[in-house]
Amino acid sequence: MPWKLTCFLICGALVVAGGAAMAHHSFAMFDQQNLIDLEGVVKEFRYSAPHAFIILDVKQEDGTIETWILEGVSPSALTREGWSRETLNPGEQIKVKVAPLRSGAPGGWWTIDKVNFRDGRPVPGNP
């Protein structure tokens, strides 16, 4: 097997395996090697199965709003970490580091330890 293909398979397997710690689907569609920082206003927090979602309005440089959809772990996993469906509420401003969709579309993957309120309030499970 050519070394490039070998590396692709092994390196790829490491990436997809490492990021998929909790889910029923692969996370390879999210670029976990190149995280990006987003700041915005929570439009909606969906505490729903199979995974919770933050719908985040992010202001662009030209003043327009781009709505991002950010997938997290399951509500049951969040609950075990001290979250509830009221942890995030519409209108609240947050900063979050996400693994963006590889396509460049406004979607991504977030984890508990990478979410912060802009006003400095602590987020459950986030040291």
> Rule CB under 8 A: which residues touch another protein?
8-10, 12-18, 20-26, 28-29, 43-44, 46, 48-51, 53, 55, 67, 69, 71, 74-76, 79, 101-107
* Distance, C-alpha 33 to centroid of its chain: 13
68 or 119: whose CB is closer to another protein?
68
Of 48 and 89, which CB lies nearer to another protein in the complex structure? 48
Q: How far is the CB of 26 from another protein (least distance, A)?
A: 5
| Contact between residue 83 and residue 106 where contact means Cβ atoms under 8 Å apart | no
- What is the closest distance, in whole angstroms, from the C-beta atom of residue 120 to another protein in the complex? 27
What's phi and psi for 30, nearest 5 deg? -100, 135
Minimum CB–partner distance for residue 61 and another protein (Å): 22
CA–CA distances in Å: residue 103 to residues 30, 71, 91: 9, 15, 28
Beta carbon nearer to another protein, 74 or 119: 74
Q: Are 12 and 28 in contact (CB under 8 A)?
A: yes
